[in-house]
Amino acid sequence: LIVFSKENYDYFIKNKNINLALIPNRKTEPITDIDRINKLKNKYKTDDKFIILRIGRVTKHYQTTIEQSLNLVNALIKDGLPVCFIHIGTIQDYDVFNDLIKLCEDYNILDIVFFESGNFFTKNASQLLGLGDLIVGTGRGFMEACAMGKWMLVPNQNLPVPLLVTE
């Protein structure tokens, strides 16, 4: 059981037969860095596009989440929607990165998918959440984007695309 507050942790810890983890949530909205956001918008010419944003490392652990995001982008493009996908995060596994680029090539979406891995954008990347119209998130990034009131998607192992989070 994962709980997000000390009160819930204290309540459930009384049951000794439970595997319990406390993950404190963030209650405050992250600071927005307008200058860096504008640099990304100018770099990728996003003015006329709906931006799907993912912040996270490129590793085997997150490969499925990124693939689901690319599947969604491909489907939206096929439906005629002007979207782009921006992934901000350090590339830690270049085999995974190459697989993702190959998927973009297969979908013919290389011109609307961008991987940003330089320190300038990855450091304090939560300050760039304001860039996205739709955020694909897990963990801390999910909570921070929720604090900003962003539309959220989460990965699901049983579907080819991430799920929209609703109330």
**Rounded to two decimals, what is the model's pTM?**
0.84
Backbone angles phi, psi at 152, to 5 degrees: -120, 145
5-9, 55-59, 79-83, 124-128: segment of lowest average pLDDT: 5-9
pLDDT at 56: 94
pLDDT tens across 108-141, in order? Answer: 999 999 999 989 999 999 999 999 999 999 888 8
Burial track 140-154 (b if 16+ CB lie within 10 A, e otherwise): ebbbbbbbeebebbe
Q: What percent of the chain has pLDDT over 70?
A: 98
pLDDT at 8: 79
The SS3 assignment for 140 reads helix
pLDDT at 167: 80
